[in-house]
Structure 1
Amino acid sequence: MIPRFRHREQHRLERIGWLRAAVLGANDGILSTASLMVGVASAAQASRSDIMIAGVAGLVAGAMSMAAGEYVSVSSQADSEAAELDLEQRELRDDPTGEHKELAEIYVQRGLDRALARTVAEQLMAHDALEAHARDELGLSVTTAARPWQAAGASALSFSCGAILPIAAAALASREQVAPVTFAVSLLALALLGTASAFMGGGNILRGIARVVFWGALAMAVTSAVGHVFNVAA
């Protein structure tokens, strides 16, 4: 029995699709819901009920919007990939010799000598011609393929999980402390999210924290100012 080869390296590329959708969803859930609630709480006439309704409405609307947006966006990507594969399939059927030369030339440009490149192209096309051209000519693979339902589900779920945090913070705070408590809890949650996403993606953790905290604080400060302005105008 031939032993199965296993990679020792732990690559993160296979996480790109769901990680992007999950991080974007959670970040948006925390930030948009917290900003909405802080803005409403900054108006003196707003009651606790008004603030909580705003938060829950933001959660529901945001989760649906994220799911729909991701599904439409990723579906468009999937349609484009399918169209490219259909075109490649027709080219392989109508001009296999030309496609073999094209694939061999790709390998020559990557550093193989021409005779070896022709041999490699021939063997790969004999195994699975469409897969070889999809990977090496079009840059498509199973790992990075568009998955609309996965992206939509991850976005909606992660948005909801993120949005629950500022809602819970507001529910536990006194009316007078809703805005500052929601602000502080949301910034902490954003910092933790930045840490987790940078770690899982192999990026710089401090940079990940800094960017989400900066934009989070800015968004909540602006909506708080809007709430104050409308309160004064009223």
Structure 2
Amino acid sequence: MRLDAYLVEMGHFKSRGRAKTAILDGKVKVNGIAVTKVSRDVSIDDTIEVAEGLDQPQGYFKLKFVQEESGVLKPGDRVLDLGSSAGGFLLFASEIADHVKGIEFSRDFRSELGKIAYERENVEIIFGDVFTIPLKELSEEPVDVILSDMTLEPEDSIKALSRMLPLLKEGGRLLQVIKIPKKKNPKPILSRIENLGLEIQQVLSSEKQEIYVVAKRPFLEGKESTEENE
């Protein structure tokens, strides 16, 4: 049997796509030797070793990278995740934050997201459209962090962010994923983010056709110093 299919059959991964990624990254050993050939023929007689923590949606590792670079999430945070898809951001954020609420448009992810919400007490899921859903259905009070990674054109991502921004508290943090070709200048879209009243703190590049923008919603003038003195 092919190695990627074998890994799924034996329960190491939920999909061949995730198994393939792990194999190509050298995270799977056959009889003590790392194998990077997905079609490698294996049998039950072979000893298969898989590095731990790999059977997660790609978004999990994306947010993990951003967290390591920026510290956008902090213990005790209340987080809103826009475009939860397979739940990668939800899973990673729930390991740090106090509460994470995700909104997803496509009900194709109902099974995966329902399982996450069932297994993690601090995760809540709602299905809806970020462009039309009443904001109070997402949160009764401002959140500490907004995570936004939706499969939209940059302009539409900013429109969605603009609509959701009232839910981000003053001093709150934002991760906005922008889908953009590597050769395209990101400055115009970054200016759009700044025009929303956000302070961009970091812009992280990736191997994919996207960038990760970490920003902060500033305090009203004089409010930050007042809170620090309390």
Pick the TM interval, shorter chain: under 0.3
The higher relative CO (CA closer than 8 Å, separation ≥ 6) is in 1
> TM-score, normalised on structure 1?
0.22
> TM-score, normalised on structure 2?
0.23
Rg larger in 1 or in 2? Answer: 1
Query: Larger % of strand: which?
Result: 2
